[in-house]
């Protein structure tokens, strides 16, 4: 799809403020018809363009849509895909161009399962008024913080004050001394080994003895003396107790027993420091063994830990769940125990400092501290021995689940240097970069020579004005209403929504409601009065072994609500979906059938990077079905045909055939039992079992 010459220049416009650029675009809109509707998506969709853009975006989604990524959320889809979907509904044909300004002014777009907020961000950029709903308060709070208007200057001033006070209170806990000049400096991180035990006594288990691969040497830690050296020979020194063993050493060579976890201890006490990394202004980066002063700092923090009051301990109790059950199997009973004493001091002091802030700045700061916990927990691993990624952190949910590192990385959240996962770095990436992008959004375009260029969209803005009732949505553009609650009962008038675009939970694919408890227990303390943090995860539309058909029951009722609020006959619902499991497709089909939806068309685009950590080496689906629905029996009965089988050998083919089968079954009049049997017969092989 060719772009308008207006948007070919990649650099930001000079001589005009963002406010002036937006006003020019608004003036231009006065000549654009705002009535009417488009159903172009029923006949065509720029699959090739979207596929190419998605293949770029999946590498670093947060860099393509930085204002959408203030806080951690799971299973986000590509923003470029949702922009392209929404563009097809622009009444003005010229504005269906992916790189054209706006196009949905005067329209109301709903996402009843908003998650990461992709639909709302993309739709509000196009001028729509949007409604977002989610049963989990975290997505609602993140969207409010990132869409609410605030100047970058005010955000920067608030963060500077917040960070400065944190550093004054906590900086000394995270310092160390340079081994060359003995100057006290901020540590970058502390590496800890996992304490294990056998019949002979205690050992400390780590990933490997290599700490960092330099250009001409390898930094290692000696398993006997714990000394750190950077030459080809091990340094001779005293024999330390306990011995450092690697994760490949499963059993003790003396007693023959497997090394066992110290499961009776709180999780943070199952680790002991083995190395500290820092950068000296005079002598550069170094590793050092923990000294007496380092141990004294840790000991002082441990003493302070008992004085911290976060409220009733039961509020932090780990409940059994599809992912949190892994914590219980390791005898981890409290979310508090996942953090070192220094990290807990950081959380507690952040809670105190937030009391001096208000409004949008407070929301952004609170969400920033919360998302920083993924990089500042004793569940963080170390992957910094690679030359290309020195000091890199394996964050808590790198595998979309809890993992239990051998070498744990205790980050320094208040490091004065911008380093991976600390507060200064996250502010730059999650807030500063996001806000700059929101006032002058940038898209990518692939040229005929295969190279990529940046394309500005002058006038678009990824922000709006929050309203608190549907009546306030009437008229104007770029307003947003957020609903925290069960989308089976939406406070939205009948037949009042032009378009529903969403990304429903993929059956049992990602148990993010359960994982989000890691953040939710702290957000209730960081931002206690900004939101109602009561949340019933049992009502989420995600399948678990315990919930049985809970996915079907929840999704069926949500889809019925979608049918109630859509405008007849032009209202359309579009969502993306994929799954290998025939049961997932069957339950989706039954839910859609019960809500009287029919499939108008289906498309397939790329959606998942195959080397993403959580799906690497798995036979994972790399594509999404884009499914376009209308209410009633308007779809032609000749549009879809039954298949003999569905090909599970290729991700794209599989998704196309599943989309066609869904359309056929929705028109078939089959009973639920027949629908289940049909899907199981067509998808004969469970690919995940390979």
Note whether 363 and 397 are within 8 A (CB): no
Q: How far apart are CA 401 and CA 417, in angstroms?
A: 29
Query: Are 122 and 213 contained in the same domain?
Result: no
Query: Are 413 and 515 contained in the same domain?
Result: no
Where does a domain end: 357, 387, 421? Answer: 421
pLDDT digits (tens, 9 = 90+) for 78-109: 999 999 999 999 999 999 999 999 999 999 99
Of 114-123, 340-349, 532-541, the one with minimum mean pLDDT is 532-541
Q: Check residue 418 and give its pLDDT.
A: 92
Where does a domain end: 376, 391, 421? Answer: 421
Q: Check residue 1 and give its pLDDT.
A: 37
pLDDT digits (tens, 9 = 90+) for 298-350: 999 999 999 999 999 999 999 988 899 999 999 999 999 999 999 999 999 99
Mean pLDDT of 152-178: 98
Q: How far apart are CA 135 and CA 179, in angstroms?
A: 52
Note whether 455 and 443 are within 8 A (CB): yes
- pTM for the structure as a whole: 0.90
Strands 129-134 and 108-111: parallel
- Which sign does the torsion angle of CA 263, 373, 371, 60 carry? negative
- 636 has pLDDT over 90: no
Query: Are 380 and 523 contained in the same domain?
Result: no
- 687 has pLDDT over 70: no
Please, what's the largest Cα pairwise distance for the chain? Answer: 84
565 inside domain = yes
- 17 has pLDDT over 50: no
Note whether 650 and 610 are within 8 A (CB): no
434 inside domain = no
Cα 113–chain centre separation? 15
Query: Are 406 and 504 contained in the same domain?
Result: no
232 inside domain = yes
Query: Are 611 and 530 contained in the same domain?
Result: yes
Query: Are 566 and 526 contained in the same domain?
Result: yes
Query: Are 162 and 143 contained in the same domain?
Result: no
Mean pLDDT of 502-519: 78
- Most confident segment among 11-20, 56-65, 178-187: 178-187
- Most confident segment among 188-202, 393-407, 626-640: 188-202
Going by C-alpha positions, the residue among 141, 259, 71, 49 that lies closest to residue 530 is 141
- 603 has pLDDT over 50: yes
Note whether 623 and 651 are within 8 A (CB): yes
Structure tokens at 550: 């809970």
Q: Check residue 616 and give its pLDDT.
A: 36
Q: Which domain holds residue 103?
A: 5-147+442-689
- Percentage of the chain surpassing pLDDT 70? 87
Q: Check residue 321 and give its pLDDT.
A: 86
Q: How confident is the model at residue 453 (pLDDT cuts 50, 70, 90)?
A: very high
How many domains does the chain fold into? Answer: 2
Query: Are 252 and 369 contained in the same domain?
Result: yes
- 121 has pLDDT over 70: yes
| Strand, helix or coil for residue 592 | helix
Mean pLDDT of 567-578: 94
Note whether 412 and 345 are within 8 A (CB): no
Query: Are 315 and 454 contained in the same domain?
Result: no
Note whether 100 and 167 are within 8 A (CB): no
First to last CA, the chain: 39
Q: How far apart are CA 157 and CA 365, in angstroms?
A: 11
314 inside domain = yes
Q: How far apart are CA 337 and CA 279, in angstroms?
A: 29
Rounded-to-10 torsion of CA 394, 395, 401, 407: 50
CA atoms within a 13 Å half-sphere pointing along the CA-CB vector of 448 = 2
426 inside domain = no
Going by C-alpha positions, the residue among 246, 226, 244 that lies closest to residue 235 is 226
152 inside domain = no
Query: Are 19 and 119 contained in the same domain?
Result: yes
- 226 has pLDDT over 50: yes
Mean pLDDT of 257-271: 97
Where does a domain end: 421, 451, 477? Answer: 421
CATH number of the domain within which 11 lies: 3.40.50.150
Of 59-68, 119-128, 288-297, 491-500, the one with minimum mean pLDDT is 59-68
435 inside domain = no
Query: Are 100 and 128 contained in the same domain?
Result: yes
Mean pLDDT over the full length of the chain: 88
Query: Are 171 and 94 contained in the same domain?
Result: no
685 inside domain = yes
Structure tokens at 615: 């799906």
Per the model's pLDDT, the better-predicted residue between 7 and 126 turns out to be 126
Cis preceding linkage at 242, omega within 30: yes
């Amino acid at each position: 799809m060719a772009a308008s010459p207006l948007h070919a220049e990649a650099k930001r416009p000079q001589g005009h403020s963002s406010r002036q650029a937006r006003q020019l675009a608004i003036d231009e809109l006065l000549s654009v018809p705002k009535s009417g509707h488009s159903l172009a998506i029923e006949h065509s969709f720029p699959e090739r363009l979207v596929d190419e853009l998605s293949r770029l975006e999946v590498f670093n989604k947060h860099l393509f849509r930085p204002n959408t990524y203030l806080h951690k959320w799971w299973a986000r889809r590509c923003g470029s895909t949702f922009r392209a979907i929404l563009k097809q509904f622009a009444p003005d044909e010229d504005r269906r161009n992916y790189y054209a300004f706006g196009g949905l002014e005067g329209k109301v777009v709903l996402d009843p399962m908003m998650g990461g907020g992709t639909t709302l961000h993309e739709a509000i950029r196009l001028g729509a008024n949007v409604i977002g709903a989610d049963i989990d308060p975290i997505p609602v709070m993140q969207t409010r913080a990132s869409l609410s208007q605030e100047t970058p200057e005010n955000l920067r001033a608030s963060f500077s004050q917040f960070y400065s006070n944190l550093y004054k209170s906590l900086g000394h806990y995270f310092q160390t001394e340079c081994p060359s000049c003995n100057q006290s400096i901020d540590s970058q991180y502390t590496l800890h080994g996992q304490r294990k035990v056998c019949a002979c006594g205690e050992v400390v288990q780590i990933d490997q003895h290599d700490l960092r691969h330099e250009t001409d040497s390898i930094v290692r830690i000696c398993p006997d003396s714990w000394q750190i050296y950077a030459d080809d020979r091990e340094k001779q020194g005293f024999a330390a107790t306990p011995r450092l063993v690697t994760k490949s050493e499963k059993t003790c060579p003396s007693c023959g027993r497997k090394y066992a976890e110290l499961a009776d201890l709180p999780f943070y006490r199952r680790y002991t420091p083995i190395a500290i990394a820092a950068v000296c202004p005079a002598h550069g980066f170094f590793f050092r063994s923990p000294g007496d002063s380092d141990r004294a700092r840790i000991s002082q923090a441990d003493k302070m830990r008992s004085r911290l009051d976060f409220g009733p301990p039961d509020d932090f109790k780990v409940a059994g769940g599809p992912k949190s059950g892994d914590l219980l199997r390791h005898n981890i009973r409290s979310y508090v125990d996942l953090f070192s004493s220094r990290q807990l001091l950081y959380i507690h002091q952040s809670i105190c400092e937030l009391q001096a802030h208000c409004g949008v700045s407070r929301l952004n700061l609170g969400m920033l501290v919360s998302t920083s916990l993924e990089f500042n927990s004793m569940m963080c691993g170390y992957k910094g021995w690679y030359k290309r990624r020195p000091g890199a952190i394996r964050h808590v949910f790198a595998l979309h689940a809890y993992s239990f590192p051998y070498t744990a990385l205790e980050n320094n959240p208040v490091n004065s240097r911008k380093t991976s996962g600390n507060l200064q770095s996250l502010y730059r990436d999650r807030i500063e970069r996001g806000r700059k992008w929101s006032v002058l959004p940038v898209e990518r375009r692939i040229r005929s020579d295969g190279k990529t260029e940046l394309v500005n969209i002058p006038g678009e803005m990824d922000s709006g004005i929050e309203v608190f009732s549907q009546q306030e949505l009437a008229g104007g553009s770029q307003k947003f209403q957020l609903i925290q609650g069960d989308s089976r009962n939406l406070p939205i008038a009948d037949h009042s929504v032009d378009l529903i675009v969403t990304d429903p939970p993929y059956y049992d694919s990602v148990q993010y409601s359960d994982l989000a408890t890691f953040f939710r227990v702290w957000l209730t303390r960081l931002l206690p009065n900004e939101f109602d943090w009561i949340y019933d995860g049992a009502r989420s539309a995600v399948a678990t072994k315990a919930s049985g058909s809970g996915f079907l029951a929840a999704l069926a009722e949500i889809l019925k609500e979608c049918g109630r609020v859509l405008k007849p006959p032009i209202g359309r619902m579009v969502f993306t979906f994929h799954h290998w499991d025939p049961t997932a497709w069957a339950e989706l089909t039954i839910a859609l059938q019960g809500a009287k939806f029919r499939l108008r068309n289906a498309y397939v685009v790329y959606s998942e990077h195959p080397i993403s950590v959580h799906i690497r080496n798995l036979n994972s689906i790399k594509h999404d079905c884009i499914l376009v629905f209308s209410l009633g029996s308007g779809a032609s009965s000749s549009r879809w045909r039954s298949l003999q089988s569905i090909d599970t050998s290729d991700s794209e083919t599989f998704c196309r055939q599943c989309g066609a089968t869904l359309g056929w079954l929705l028109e078939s009049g089959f009973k639920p039992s027949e629908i289940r049997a049909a899907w199981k017969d067509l998808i004969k092989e469970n690919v995940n079992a390979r």
